């Protein structure tokens, strides 16, 4: 078990303190996890004195506890893609909740002045983007009414309640951030651009849910069920599962499933599945991992012309033109 208590002022300072706790060092703003804790990296960067971020991308071989104590006035936005082993313990102030869902794919907004707690068990795979934005910076760029709503939400809501779920757009941008290469000369600006875009997406999602009174009008168990269905649709790209099988998976009627999924994610079940698999094909083509025919077959298209038509409808470009411009 590794435990680390800290006050968050910025993420470079946070990472330096964590490295000291692990008896190791940070090099080029990157911490390589020591073998006794796991494998992978944590990167941190202060864009300026008001905005910083940390990118976690690792697998744990030991339990890890992080305790955040009262820090600087600011917001912390946490984008979480965590494959949970055993359970995930999360807490806000003095409330601690056990989460045994196999996947934790959500977004949380908290106030850095509040205490927070997370324990991740050995065997968990962790991909997290954490952004610290000072209140001064937020007030400079956000309308006063939006800032006030964010401040109230961050202070009054538990870290385990009222999450915003990772949707397909978030997932795609996060994947690009996690897979940026250090030898890419444009990596710093690509990462900054992606983070700013994710912050904008978060604010848009917050406003949409706030205006639609979500998630308060949807039961917590139903929200978790929709997250489970989203995980299925994002991972099983070779063929669309039947509505009946999806409904049985979450113990609800097909009509309730269809309505709830559209309400939470903004797309029908099939549209979400189709966008997910086409994004997978695009990723394969951009990395040169396979031919156009192989990419189409990988996501369930037996007819190459049908694949090309669906691809162009989604991205505005034919697969062959994407490959040429690679």
Residue 77, pLDDT score: 94
Are 255 and 149 within one domain? no
Q: Which of 130, 285, 227, 203 is nearest to 293 (CA)?
A: 285
pLDDT band for position 317 (cuts 50, 70, 90): very high
Report the CATH number that the domain containing residue 46 is assigned in CATH.
Answer: 2.60.120.10
Mean per-residue pLDDT, 284-292: 86
Q: For the CA atoms of the chain, what is the radius of gyration?
A: 20
Answer whether residue 234 is part of any domain: yes
Are 128 and 275 within one domain? no
Structural domain including 305 reads: 220-324
CA distance 48 to 168: 30
Are 131 and 15 within one domain? yes
Answer whether residue 63 is part of any domain: yes
Domain end among 137, 161, 185: 161
Report the CATH number that the domain containing residue 296 is assigned in CATH.
Answer: 1.10.10.60
Mean per-residue pLDDT, 59-76: 95
**Cβ atoms of 250 and 233 closer than 8 Å:** no
Residue 164, pLDDT score: 75
| pLDDT tens per residue across span 185-243 | 888 888 999 999 999 988 988 887 665 544 445 677 887 788 889 888 988 877 899 99
Pairing of strands 30-32, 164-165: unpaired
Q: Tell me the average pLDDT of the chain.
A: 88
Are 12 and 105 within one domain? yes
User: For 10, how many CA atoms within 13 A lie in the half-sphere containing its CB?
Assistant: 12
pLDDT band for position 162 (cuts 50, 70, 90): low
CA distance 261 to 272: 10
Answer whether residue 118 is part of any domain: yes
pLDDT above 80 for 139: yes
Mean per-residue pLDDT, 159-168: 68
Are 151 and 248 within one domain? no
Measured in degrees and rounded to the nearest 5, phi and psi for residue 138 equal -60, -40
Answer whether residue 187 is part of any domain: no
Are 149 and 240 within one domain? no
Domain end among 129, 145, 161: 161
| pLDDT tens per residue across span 93-130 | 667 888 777 888 888 899 999 999 999 999 999 999 99
Are 18 and 157 within one domain? yes
pLDDT above 50 for 79: yes
Residue 266, pLDDT score: 80
| pLDDT tens per residue across span 228-257 | 898 889 888 778 999 999 999 999 999 999
Answer whether residue 169 is part of any domain: no
Give the single-character DSSP code of 34. Answer: P
Residue 215, pLDDT score: 45
**Cβ atoms of 42 and 48 closer than 8 Å:** no
Q: Is 30 helix (H, G, I), strand (E, B) or coil?
A: strand
Determine what percent of the chain is predicted with pLDDT higher than 70: 94
Each as own residue / partner, the long-range contacts of residues 137-144 (CB below 8 Å, 24 or more positions apart, any chain) are 137/50, 137/51, 137/74, 138/74, 138/75, 142/203
pLDDT above 50 for 273: yes
Are 151 and 230 within one domain? no
Residue 234, pLDDT score: 84
Answer whether residue 179 is part of any domain: no
Are 226 and 77 within one domain? no
Are 116 and 260 within one domain? no
Number of compact structural domains in the chain: 2
Residue 147, pLDDT score: 95
Domain end among 161, 186, 205: 161
Are 265 and 132 within one domain? no
Are 24 and 110 within one domain? yes
Residue 216, pLDDT score: 47
Give the single-character DSSP code of 27. Answer: B
């Amino acid at each position: 078990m590794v435990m680390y208590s800290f006050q968050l002022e910025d993420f470079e300072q946070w990472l330096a303190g964590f490295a000291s706790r692990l008896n190791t060092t940070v090099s080029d703003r990157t911490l390589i996890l020591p073998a006794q804790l796991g494998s992978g990296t944590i990167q941190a960067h202060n864009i300026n004195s008001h905005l910083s971020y940390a990118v976690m991308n690792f697998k744990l071989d030991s339990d890890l506890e992080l305790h955040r104590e009262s820090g600087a006035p600011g917001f912390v936005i946490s984008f979480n893609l965590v494959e949970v082993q055993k359970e995930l313990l999360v807490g806000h102030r003095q409330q601690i909740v056990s989460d045994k869902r196999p996947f934790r794919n959500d977004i949380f907004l908290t106030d850095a002045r509040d205490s927070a707690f997370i324990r991740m068990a050995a065997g968990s795979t962790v991909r997290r983007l954490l952004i610290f934005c000072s209140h001064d910076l937020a007030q400079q760029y956000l309308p006063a009414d939006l800032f006030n709503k964010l401040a109230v939400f961050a202070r009054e809501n538990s870290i385990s309640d009222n999450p915003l779920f990772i949707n397909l757009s978030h997932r795609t941008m996060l994947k690009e951030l996690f897979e940026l290469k250090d030898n890419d000369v444009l990596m710093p600006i690509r990462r900054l651009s992606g983070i700013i875009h994710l912050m904008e997406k978060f604010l848009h999602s917050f406003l949409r849910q706030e205006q639609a009174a979500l998630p308060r009008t949807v039961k917590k168990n139903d929200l978790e069920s929709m997250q489970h269905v989203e995980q299925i649709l994002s991972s099983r790209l070779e063929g669309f599962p039947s509505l009946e099988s999806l409904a049985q998976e979450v113990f609800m009627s097909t009509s309730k499933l269809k309505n709830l999924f559209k309400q939470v994610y903004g797309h029908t079940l099939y549209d979400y599945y189709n966008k997910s698999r086409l994004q997978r094909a695009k990723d394969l083509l951009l990395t040169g991992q396979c031919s156009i025919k192989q990419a189409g077959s990988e996501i369930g298209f037996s007819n190459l012309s049908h694949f090309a038509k669906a691809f162009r409808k989604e991205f505005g470009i034919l697969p062959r033109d994407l490959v040429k411009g690679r």
